[in-house]
């Protein structure tokens, strides 16, 4: 039973193997980014940027059709532009960064849908919004693998500085006023780059799901940053595998199945994780109430 569910589809079908490899590569790079977003209290910024890349993707689509390179470059430029403009607005006005992100990403989403509708069909729009993971070819798999490798290498190089910038930004300012801004810029660039990789697999609306849900689930289990990062990566890998297998056996859309699996891991972590323990707290409160009644 387990063999037929978890292993056989990936042995018998090449498109399932390519989808699994792309998802596993994406999970390796997005889970650490999602954890840093969570620790920096920027969880919704990732969702905003996943929508903000859509106008660039749409421009690439209008110029070159369903070209992964053209749409990827366009999406990266659009995402970085929205991040820079939002940061500038929050620095020069009383608006906080999350508020400026919200304002720009809603306009970007509407603009992207409008541009795609000018020449594309409803099928093309659904493909870009929700992805088409089972149609991932060898070129897309290599593209995602390169982005995941670059992300992991850069994260390893800036890891210490990024941790300091996350927990003690004032300390870094002592060594140089530009250092925190440089680290923040590199982090946002990596974030946009991985969202660009994710849109081909999960679409612009769901690519952030594989980034944030394993990270939130990991924080319910581990106290340390290293432990949280390891659990987040393992959770992302497991959810990608289970989601793909579930979608194949139940004939469900693969992208939503993966995100739903990650959502299930999040709910289980909330209930049973030692750092959240909702179920344990419910039992404890119930026992306290029952003792008080007696």
110's CB contacts (< 8 A; 6+ apart) are none
> pLDDT at position 290, please?
53
**Rounded CA separation 154/46 (Å):** 19
Among 115-124, 181-190, 246-255, 270-279, which is the least confidently predicted range? 115-124
* 41: number of Cβ within 10 Å: 10
User: Would you list the domain boundaries of the chain?
Assistant: 2-288
Residues with Cβ within 8 Å of 276's Cβ and at least 6 positions away in sequence, in order, are 220, 269, 270
Closest C-alpha to 111, from 66, 84, 143, 81: 81
Q: Helix H segments across the chain?
A: 2, 8-12, 14-39, 43-52, 54-64, 68-92, 97-119, 122-130, 138-167, 169-175, 178-206, 209-219, 225-250, 254-272, 278-293
138-167 vs 178-206: helix crossing angle, rounded to 10: 140
Q: Give percent of the chain with pLDDT exceeding 70.
A: 88
Radius of gyration (C-alpha) of the chain in whole angstroms: 20
Q: What is the distance between the alpha carbons of residues 285 and 32, in angstroms, rounded to a whole number?
A: 35
Packing angle of the helix pair 97-119, 43-52 (nearest 10 deg):
30
Residue 177 has pLDDT above 80, yes or no: no
Q: What are residue 253's phi and psi, to 5 degrees?
A: -60, 135
pLDDT reported for residue 236: 94
In which region does residue 251 sit, left (phi positive, over 0), alpha (psi from -120 to 50) or beta (all else)? left
| Residue 292's pLDDT band (cuts 50, 70, 90) | low
Contact present, 20 and 29 (Cβ < 8 Å): no
Of 3.30.750.24, 3.10.150.10, 1.10.357.10, 1.10.3470.10, which CATH number belongs to 2-288?
Answer: 1.10.3470.10
- C-alpha span between 174 and 199 (Å, rounded): 39
- Choice among 9-18, 102-111, 170-179, 208-217 with the minimum mean pLDDT: 170-179
Residue 153 has pLDDT above 90, yes or no: yes
CB 228 within 8 A of CB 35: yes
- Is 274 strand, coil or helix? coil
Q: Between residues 258 and 50, which one has the greater pLDDT?
A: 258
Residues in the chain: 294
Least confident range of 59-63, 151-155, 284-288: 284-288
pLDDT tens figures, 16-61:
999 999 999 999 999 999 999 999 888 878 888 888 888 898 888 8
Q: pTM for the full model? A: 0.87
**With bands split at pLDDT 50, 70 and 90, how would you rate the model's confidence at 289?**
low
């Amino acid at each position: 039973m387990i063999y037929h569910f978890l292993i056989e589809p990936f042995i018998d079908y090449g498109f399932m193997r390519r989808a699994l490899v792309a998802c596993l590569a994406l999970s390796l790079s997005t889970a650490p980014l999602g954890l840093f977003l969570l620790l920096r209290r920027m969880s919704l910024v990732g969702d905003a940027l996943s929508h903000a890349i859509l106008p660039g993707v749409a421009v690439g689509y209008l110029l070159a059709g369903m070209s992964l390179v053209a749409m990827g470059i366009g999406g990266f430029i659009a995402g970085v532009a929205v991040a820079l403009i939002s940061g500038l607005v929050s620095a020069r006005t009383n608006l906080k960064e999350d508020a400026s992100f919200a304002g720009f990403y809603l306009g970007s989403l509407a603009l992207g849908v409008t541009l795609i509708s000018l020449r594309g069909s409803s099928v093309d729009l659904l493909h870009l919004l929700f992805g088409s993971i089972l149609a991932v070819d060898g070129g897309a798999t290599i593209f995602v693998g390169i982005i995941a490798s670059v992300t992991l290498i850069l994260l390893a190089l800036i890891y210490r500085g990024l941790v300091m910038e996350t927990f003690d930004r004032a300390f870094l300012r002592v060594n140089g006023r530009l250092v925190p801004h440089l680290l923040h810029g590199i982090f946002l660039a990596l974030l946009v780059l991985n969202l660009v990789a994710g849109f081909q697999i999960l679409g612009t609306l769901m690519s952030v799901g594989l980034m944030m849900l394993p990270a939130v689930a990991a924080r319910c289990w581990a106290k340390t940053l290293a432990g949280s990062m390891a659990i987040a990566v393992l959770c992302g890998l497991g959810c990608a595998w289970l989601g793909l297998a579930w979608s194949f056996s139940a004939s469900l859309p693969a992208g939503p199945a993966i995100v739903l699996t990650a959502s299930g891991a999040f709910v289980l972590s909330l209930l049973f994780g030692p750092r959240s323990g909702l179920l344990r707290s419910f039992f404890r409160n119930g026992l306290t109430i029952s003792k008080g009644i007696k």
